[in-house]
Every structure is written in structure tokens, then in C-alpha cells.
Amino acid sequence: MGLTKYWESCKISLYNSLVYKADFISNSLFIGLIIFIFVYLWKAVYGSGHGVIEGFTISMMVWYFVMTESIVTAPGRLIEEIGEDVQSGEIATKLNKPYNSVLFKYAYNMGQTLLRFILTFLVGGIIAFLFLGGVEINWLTLPLVGIVIILALTLHFCMMMLLGIFTFWFEDAKALNFLYNKIIFVFGGMLLPLEIFPQWLAKISAVMPFSFVAYHPARLFVIFNLNNFIRTIFLELIWIALFSGLIAIFYKSFIKKISINGG
Amino acid sequence: MAAIIKVENISKEFRIKEKEPGLKGSLKSLFTSKYKSIDAVDNISFNVNKGEVVGFIGPNGAGKSTTIKMMTGILFPSSGKINVINYDPQKERKKLAFKVGTVFGQKPQLWYHLPAIDTFNLFAKIYEIPEKQYQQRLKELIKTFEVEEVINQPVRKLSLGQRMRCEMIASLLHNPEVLFLDEPTIGMDIVAKKRIRELIKNLNENDGVTVILTSHDLEDVEQVCKRLIIINNGKIVYDGSTKGIREKYLNFKIIQVILNEKTESLNLGLKNVKAVFKGKFRHVIEIDTSKHPIQEVVKKIVSKYNVEDINILDPPIEEIISRIYQNKTDHKDQKWD
């Protein structure tokens, strides 16, 4: 049994990404620009005093945003990619190989995702550091936060994969992608930490899967807390298991109904 | 000989969403969806023996590719049974994938921006080929397919012929017993086509690989396959030897002549010559090659007229199919196999 094929998938995705290096770098630079604007936005909000908003200092707020941006934008256009594969019939060449196609796609996407995550985080981090200085983190907790981030990216993949499969029925990958992105943007806490929301909304958002992609990992990064860490990992795993189950169910019926156009 | 592929009464029905034209239609389709069923493949049965090279031909949309995709487990038939190398392709797709190779002419599997060697290395891992065996096999294939110079260049820089040879290597690395080639020569020039045909032939003769080939180019199939299955509208209209088709239906050629002077019609004084098109300068005739050899006719044309250009073509596949149908209705009592 070879798991090496999935590792190999991750590797070729990296080679392939390096071909598109200009695309990657410009993408990260653009996100850097957004972070730069946010630095000034938050400066205006916090005023001249070094206040604290809902437990966040200004540098925590900006580093939080650097982290959510890096995670959320890392998988790229996954939903649309799957939609294109289905509609162009390209999926035929991906189904006739002796591997688990979803796992293979996961490994492939993870290769690019990690690269993009690191790039964006570096660019965003440099900007945050230059304008606001570092954030107080216990470096020992970073490997733990790393685990939370990997799981967050995995959950992110699972939800996007499921929506990608749905494009078979909805035929409109762009709309699904748009909807999902906006939900992550708001309910996932990508833009603002959930603490800023009205309490009832914050409570609901905090248990929904979307916040485990952005809010929880980013919060753990700026405010580490062992209890929160354990709880986050636990819930991330539950959501991943749930979405994996849904993917398995829908993938099966999708495979049976698929019709491959042309050629 | 044992059948390596058994296909029994398979059908595949596609549901296609229909939309009325214009804005009104678009708005309407938001609320109600109308579907139309199309029988892409309609109750097809055939067997393929080990070591055979079978050509599937038919016009676009005839169901050739759909049949191949069902044999490799990518598509699920609406009804019927398929068995390939003792596997049920739909239930055991992964196991079957280790034993078969597939090339889709229109759906490349090589990474477009990477050199072909990267895809080969990936496939070696996907197919779980031991490293030593892989290196040896790769060396052999690179030699036979003559791609030494191009495997380190990004695939996008290769010519169509080079690319297809690399595609074939990718699908042969794991030594498949059956090779499915779906339109492997599409879009290629004559020289490249010829190379691909030779390679397919060699593969079958030297390695004993069973080959299923689809094409809408009659010549492809004629050169490579001893057996021919013609599909039209999802049904098999002919399943038999290629020779049989040549004798019964390919005994005519189309000659297109462009003359330097205005001429009413070509008058060659030959009996079995039919005018298909009469222009002022361009004339198209159809000749029965069993009655008049090509040379004879061409010689006559050239000696009699002032010729600017001359083209000799095979009849299109649609023409042959219509002749098969004609023949069927003409001799209703004759049994067809």
C-alpha cells in the first residue's frame, strides 16, 4: 500500500506552483497591500491611545488578520477548479488511476496551499512587524498552533471539496465560491474576531465550522490558551470527520451520475 | 482464445438540461428544469480477445468514447454488464486501473507546464512500480518512442505528435494488459499520425498488449486494426474484419480535381465513375476502385485535362455507414454479423 503516491502528488503540485511563481508572488503582495491598509484602518479605530478592544491590542488585531488572511486565501480557487474539471470532462483522466481521487486532490491542493500560506504569512508578517512591531507570542506554543492551522486548512479543503462536488448539481461554481467566501469572511471571523459581534451571533459563529478555519486558529496564535487549544483541535477533528463523511456520500452518487462531455 | 473484455447489452442514457432560447428561456430555467434523455449507447454487446487490436469508429457523438469510459469504469452504464480482465470496472475501478492504460487524445494527463519526466515519475508512484523496474521500463519506452530529447522540456513546448508519444509512455509505464486509446491521432499531421500507428502496431505485436482504439479517421483503424466495430447513434452497425469493410464498402474513392480552364463536366469515358460535384473549375468524382484502379483514372484525367490540383480522398465515415444501412435494407434476408 503506497501512501507515497499522495506525497508525490503534493510534490508535483509544488513543482507546478513554481511555474506560476509570478502569480503566487503577486497574489501574496496584493494581500500584503490589504494588510497594509488594515494597519491604518485599525490605527484610526484604536486612536492614539494604546487601548484594548475586546481583549485585542492593535498589534494582536493586525496579526490576527494576517493569520486569517493567510489561511483563508491559501487553497486558491479550489471550488472553481473542481467545477471546471467536472464540466470540461477533465475529471476522466483523474478517475482512472489507482488512487483515492479525493485524497489525491487533497495532497495536491495541500502542496500549493502550504506554499501560499507561508508566502502570504511572510509578506503580511513583515508588514505588521514594520508598522506595529511583533506580537507577544510564546514561541513554544507555535508548533501547537501549527497543528491547529494544518487542521484548519484541512477543514477548509473539506468544505470546498464538498461545494466543488455540488457544482455538479448547481452548475455554477462561481456562485458557490462567492457564497462560501463571504460566509468565511463574516461568520468565520476572517475580517473581525467574533468578540466584536453581538453576543448571540458570536456564540453561534463560534461553534459553526467556518470559525474553525479562521477565528479559532488565529485567536490561538495571538492569545494562546491550553484549554482553547484542546477544544479547538477536538472540534476541528469532529468537523473534518463530518465533512469527510458528507464528501464520501455525495462523491459516490456524483461518480455514478457523472456524464463526461465530449471526446 | 479467452475473451479479455466482455460487454453485454450495455446502455448509457444521459440527461441533458434543455433551455429555451433567449432571456425568457433563461429566466424560466431558473425555476423549472426540462430534461431530455439521450441514448448515448444503446444496447451494445461485444467481446474482445486477448491480443486483439479493435478499432471503434463512428462519427462524432456516436458513443465511442462513452463506451471506452464505461469499460475503464469512469462512467456507469445505465444497464448491462461489463467485465474487463475479470474485473467489474465500476466496482473495482482501482484494481482494474493497475492493469489497463488509457490515453484520451483530447484530455491530456501530462502536466502541461512541467517536463514529461515529472509526470512519469509521479505515475510510477501512483502505479506503485518498484524503482528498478520503473527505470528499466522507462528506458525501454523512451527508446522505442524516440523521445530522449524532449522528456526534459515542459510539455507545452512539445509538438502534438511528441506530446502524444509522451502520453502513451505515461499510460504504458505499468505494463498494462489492455490499452485504451481514445482518438490518439486527433489533430495530427500525416507524418505524426503514421508514427503513432506504427507504435501501436508494434506494441501489440511485440508486447501482446490488447488495444482498443477509437478514431473518426478510417485510415487509422485500417492501418492498425484487424477488427473493426462501427458505432452510429449508440448502436453497433458493423462488427467484423477490417478487410471485410474494405472489400464491401471501401471499394470507392473520392477524387477532387481543380482544372485550369472552365469545364462543364469531366468526361472520362469510364462506366463506374459518378460525378458528385460539378463546378466551373472544381469537380468531384467518385470511382469504384474494384472496377477502375486509381492510377488508371488519374492518368486519364491528367492526360485529358489541364489540371491545377488533384486530391484523392477516402470516403467519409458517414458515407460508409449510410452504405451499410442501405445494404441492410437491400438484403433484408441476409444475416449480418
Q: In chain B, whose CA is at the least distance from the CA of A93? A: B109
Which pLDDT does position B38 carry in this prediction? 81
Among the partner-chain residues A9, A16, A97, the one whose CB lies closest to the CB of B114 is A16
Q: How many residues does chain A have?
A: 263
* Domain with residues B251-313, CATH architecture: 2-Layer Sandwich (3.30)
Distances (CA, A) of A195 to A21, A132, A181, B46, B309: 37, 22, 20, 67, 82
Nearest chain B Cα distance for residue A110, angstroms: 16
CB < 8 Å to B74, chain A:
92, 95-96, 260
What is the rounded CA–CA span in Å between residue B143 and residue B334?
50
In one-letter notation, the amino acid at residue B119 is T
Which pLDDT does position B328 carry in this prediction? 63
What is the rounded CA–CA span in Å between residue B226 and residue A140?
71
Please tell me the CATH superfamily of domain B3-12+41-247, with its number: P-loop containing nucleotide triphosphate hydrolases (3.40.50.300)
Assign residue B295 a region: left if phi > 0, alpha if psi is -120 to 50, beta otherwise?
alpha
Which pLDDT does position B332 carry in this prediction? 43
Which pLDDT does position B288 carry in this prediction? 84
Is residue A31 situated within a structural domain? yes
Q: In chain B, whose CA is at the least distance from the CA of A171? A: B17
Cβ pairs bridging A and B (under 8 Å): 82
Spell out the residues 6+ positions from residue A42 whose beta carbon is closer than 8 angstroms to its own.
A58, A61, A62
CB contact (8 A) between residue B76 and residue A8: no
What is the rounded CA–CA span in Å between residue A199 and residue A210?
17
Which pLDDT does position B335 carry in this prediction? 39
CB contact (8 A) between residue A96 and residue B108: no
Is residue A16 situated within a structural domain? yes
Q: In chain A, whose CA is at the least distance from the CA of B99? A: A98
For chain A, residues with pLDDT lower than 50 are 262-263
Which pLDDT does position A261 carry in this prediction? 56
Is residue A196 situated within a structural domain? yes
Domain range spanning residue A91? 4-257
Identify from B29, B75, B171, B186 which residue to disrupt to test chain A contact, counting A C-beta atoms within 10 A and taking the largest count.
Answer: B75
Nearest chain A Cα distance for residue B143, angstroms: 25
Identify the bridge partners of residue B154 per DSSP, sorted by sequence position. B115
Is residue A175 situated within a structural domain? yes
C-beta of residue B295 within 8 angstroms of C-beta of residue B283: no
* In chain B, where the domains are located: 3-12+41-247, 251-313
Is residue A262 situated within a structural domain? no
Is residue A227 situated within a structural domain? yes
CB < 8 Å to B182, chain A:
263
Nearest chain B Cα distance for residue A123, angstroms: 26
**pLDDT (tens place) for every residue of chain B, 337 residues total:** 678 999 999 998 887 777 777 777 777 777 777 777 888 899 999 999 999 999 998 887 788 888 999 999 988 899 999 999 999 999 999 999 999 999 988 888 999 999 999 999 999 999 999 999 999 999 999 999 999 999 999 999 999 999 999 999 999 999 999 999 999 988 888 888 898 999 999 999 998 999 999 987 778 888 899 999 988 888 998 899 888 887 777 778 888 888 888 888 877 777 778 888 888 888 888 888 888 888 888 888 888 888 899 988 877 777 777 777 776 655 444 433 3
CB contact (8 A) between residue A8 and residue B69: no
Which pLDDT does position B133 carry in this prediction? 95
Which pLDDT does position B320 carry in this prediction? 78
Is residue A74 situated within a structural domain? yes
Backbone angles phi, psi at B178, to 5 degrees: -125, 135
Identify from A93, A100, A102 which residue to disrupt to test chain B contact, counting B C-beta atoms within 10 A and taking the largest count.
Answer: A93
What is the rounded CA–CA span in Å between residue A222 and residue A56?
9
Nearest chain B Cα distance for residue A100, angstroms: 8
Which pLDDT does position A260 carry in this prediction? 66
DSSP of chain A: --SHHHHHHHHHHHHHHHHTHHHHHHHHHHHHHHHHHHHHHHHHHH-SS---BTTB-HHHHHHHHHHHHHHHHTT-SHHHHHHHHHHHSTTHHHHSSSS-HHHHHHHHHHHHHHHHHHHHHHHHHHHHHHHH------GGGHHHHHHHHHHHHHHHHHHHHHHHHHHHHH--HHHHHHHHHHHHHHTT-SSS-GGGS-HHHHHHHHHSGGGGTTHHHHHHHHS--HHHHHHHHHHHHHHHHHHHHHHHHHHHHHHHH------
Q: In chain B, whose CA is at the least distance from the CA of A98? A: B94
C-beta of residue B6 within 8 angstroms of C-beta of residue B80: no
Which pLDDT does position A240 carry in this prediction? 97
In one-letter notation, the amino acid at residue B298 is V
Helix (H) or strand (E) run with residue B211 in it:
strand B210-215
Nearest chain B Cα distance for residue A11, angstroms: 9
What is the rounded CA–CA span in Å between residue A100 and residue A2?
11
Among the partner-chain residues B102, B108, B122, the one whose CB lies closest to the CB of A96 is B102
In one-letter notation, the amino acid at residue B296 is E
Which pLDDT does position B331 carry in this prediction? 47
In one-letter notation, the amino acid at residue A253 is S
Total domains, chain A: 1
Which pLDDT does position A209 carry in this prediction? 96
DSSP of A28-42: HHHHHHHHHHHHHHH
Distances (CA, A) of B120 to A98, B126, B177: 15, 10, 19
ipTM associated with this complex: 0.84
Q: Does the beta carbon of A59 lie under 8 angstroms from any beta carbon of chain B?
A: no
Chain B interface, Cβ < 8 Å to A: 14-15, 65-66, 69, 72-76, 93-95, 97-98, 100, 102, 104-109, 111, 113-114, 118-119, 121-122, 125-128, 154, 182-183
C-beta of residue B42 within 8 angstroms of C-beta of residue B235: yes
What is the rounded CA–CA span in Å between residue A68 and residue A91?
31
Among the partner-chain residues B66, B69, B125, the one whose CB lies closest to the CB of A8 is B125
DSSP of B46-87: EEEETT-EEEEE-STTSSHHHHHHHHTTSS--SEEEEEETTB
